């Protein structure tokens, strides 16, 4: 049986969301905040939570960021629908689907996790705790767990401000949703820049 472009796009979104949420649920219900599991010397499952954007960066107010994510996801969903109508290449549509799925994956954390989980500091979280969750709607924290300290060392003493301090590459901790967004954007920029620019130009003409 041959899948249509729409079916492939929906399948990608579903699989990314499912894998992302299953992994986050497992981490929340099996690990304490700050706990780590060593997989290799350069790969850890390290449980952390953040209020901000991808890879733990924080720039904006929590409510503003959550609403912004929701609006952006709605816009991406509309864009995907337009791509379907205009018969774009499957690879391009899958890139947009990866970005959409990653955005929605983190939105789920922000909207629901504060209500359905107890806190994870010093304990393993409980799902649907009798006393209620650790935060109100839209105030949930995003669960991150992938940590890749590929290179570790100490900055040389002659480096201004950093000399003698620990050096780690790659320091950010992220989740599957973040990775999905990053992969989608990277493939777009590498292989579909002309398609992306053409799509945006077509949108301007229609407007």
From the list 20, 61, 166, 178, the catalytic residue is 178
Directed axis angle between helix 5-30 and helix 90-108, to 10°?
30
Catalytic (active site) residue 166: no
Asked if 20 is an active-site residue, the reply is: no
Whether 119 contacts 29, CB under 8 Å = no
Q: Determine which helix (DSSP H) or strand (DSSP E) holds 55, and give its type and residue range.
A: none
For 89, list phi and psi in degrees, rounded to 5. -65, 145
Q: How far apart are CA 59 and CA 71, in angstroms?
A: 18
> CB–CB of 93/187 below 8 Å?
no
- Cα(24)–Cα(108) distance, integer angstroms: 11
> CA Rg, the chain, in Å?
20
Catalytic residue among 20, 61, 144, 166: 144
Q: Which residues are catalytic?
A: 144, 178
């Amino acid at each position: 049986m041959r899948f249509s472009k729409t079916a492939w796009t929906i399948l990608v979104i579903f699989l990314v969301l499912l894998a992302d949420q299953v992994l986050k649920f497992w981490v929340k219900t099996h690990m304490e905040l700050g706990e780590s599991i060593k997989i290799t010397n350069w790969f850890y499952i390290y449980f952390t939570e953040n209020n901000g954007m991808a890879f733990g960066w924080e720039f904006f107010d929590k409510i503003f960021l959550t609403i912004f994510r929701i609006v952006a996801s709605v816009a991406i969903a509309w864009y995907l629908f337009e791509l379907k109508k205009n018969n774009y290449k499957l690879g391009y549509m899958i890139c947009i689907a990866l970005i959409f799925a990653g955005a929605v994956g983190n939105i789920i954390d922000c909207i629901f996790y504060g209500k359905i989980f107890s806190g994870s500091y010093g304990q393993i979280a409980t799902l649907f705790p009798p006393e209620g969750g650790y935060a109100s709607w839209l105030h949930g924290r995003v669960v991150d767990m992938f940590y890749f300290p590929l290179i570790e060392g100490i900055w040389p003493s002659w480096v201004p401000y950093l000399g003698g301090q620990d050096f780690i590459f790659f320091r950010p901790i992220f989740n599957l949703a973040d990775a999905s967004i990053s992969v989608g954007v990277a493939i777009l920029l590498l292989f579909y820049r002309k398609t992306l620019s053409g799509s945006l130009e077509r949108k301007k003409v229609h407007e």
